[in-house]
């Protein structure tokens, strides 16, 4: 089966639509989101509704829980907090409640999905080093695990030691366990503004990561028009 693994969307409808179009071309049969569907962008309602229409399985991101009052906004920076408060005022309450009920992690087929880490998912720590990955590998019961949160696509491999690279084609047989950060659809932070599209074929064992251009200027204009902090618009143009 082909799975579309959706990285942090952050209410960026234009990027999400482009990724869905590409995944459909690739024959994706099931969609999985690593969380943070909302936050920062101007189309939270539309993004959540589109995921629901596609029968997407979603794990909880820190922004998803914050909007629902399950995570203290004191942990957010000024811009993230402002976006969260704006989102809370501009989303259907029933959808907000649904975000608050999302699971912290799920297991599908031969892989696990969590937003941040497996060793302490509720704390939303970042996996940025081999040691961070090692801690999650200790809790990883499946061959593969897909994560998001840092918005930077990177792959960690566990064999005798933990190694990492920025491969865009990953073979399941390459390691005992593999941890894939799928980057971000709606707010990349690796100095590449293009959306990230990740597809996993469980039959061939191949994971492919592809970058897609989208109408970023439209997204930026929406953010400004909505009255969200202008920095949230500017950073999209530079992938930061």
What pLDDT does residue 227 have? 96
| One-character DSSP codes across the chain | -EEEEE-B-TT-HHHHHHHHHHHHHTT--EEEE-S--SSSSS-HHHHHHHHHHTT-EEPPPHHHHHHTTSS-GGGS-HHHHHHHHHHHHSS-HHHHHHHHT--SEEEETTEEEESS-SSSGGGT----SHHHHHHHHTT--SSEEEE-SS---EEEEESSSEEEE--SEEEGGGSSEEEEE--BSS---SS--SEEEEEEETTTTEEEEEEE---HHHHHHHHHHHT--THHHHHHHHT-
* Domains along the sequence of the chain with CATH: 2-238 (3.60.21.10)
Please state whether beta strands 177-181 and 144-147 pair in parallel, antiparallel, or not at all (unpaired): parallel
44 neighbors 38 (Cβ within 8 angstroms): yes
What pLDDT does residue 74 have? 85
What pLDDT does residue 49 have? 97
Task: Please state the separation of Cα 87 from the chain's center in Å.
Answer: 18
Q: Encode the chain (240 residues) as per-residue pLDDT tens digits.
A: 999 999 999 999 999 999 999 999 999 999 999 999 999 999 999 999 999 999 999 999 999 999 999 998 888 999 999 999 999 999 999 999 999 999 999 999 999 999 999 999 999 999 999 999 999 999 999 999 999 999 999 999 999 999 999 999 999 988 999 999 999 999 999 999 999 999 999 999 999 999 999 999 999 999 999 999 999 999 999 998
What pLDDT does residue 203 have? 95
What pLDDT does residue 75 have? 84
């Amino acid at each position: 089966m082909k799975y579309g693994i959706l990285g942090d969307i952050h209410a960026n409808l234009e990027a999400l639509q482009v990724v869905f179009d590409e995944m459909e071309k690739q024959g994706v049969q099931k969609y999985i989101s690593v969380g943070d569907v909302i936050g920062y962008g101007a189309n939270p309602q539309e993004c959540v509704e589109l995921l629901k229409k596609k029968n997407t399985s979603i794990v909880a991101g820190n922004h998803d829980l914050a909007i629902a009052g399950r995570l203290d906004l004191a942990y957010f920076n000024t811009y993230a907090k402002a976006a969260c408060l704006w989102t809370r005022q501009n989303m259907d309450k029933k959808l907000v409640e649904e975000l608050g009920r999302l699971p912290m992690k799920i297991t599908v087929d031969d892989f696990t999905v969590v937003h941040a880490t497996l060793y302490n998912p509720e704390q939303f720590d970042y996996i940025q080093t081999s040691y961070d990955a090692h801690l999650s590998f200790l809790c990883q019961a499946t061959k593969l695990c897909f994560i998001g949160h840092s918005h930077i696509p990177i792959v960690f491999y566990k064999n005798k030691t933990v190694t990492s690279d920025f491969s865009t084609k990953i073979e399941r047989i390459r390691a005992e366990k593999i941890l894939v950060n799928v980057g971000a659809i709606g707010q990349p932070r690796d100095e590449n503004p293009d959306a990230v599209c990740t597809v996993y074929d469980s039959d061939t064992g191949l994971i492919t990561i592809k970058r897609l251009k989208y109408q970023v200027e439209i997204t930026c204009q929406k953010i400004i028009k909505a009255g969200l902090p202008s920095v949230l618009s500017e950073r999209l143009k530079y992938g930061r």
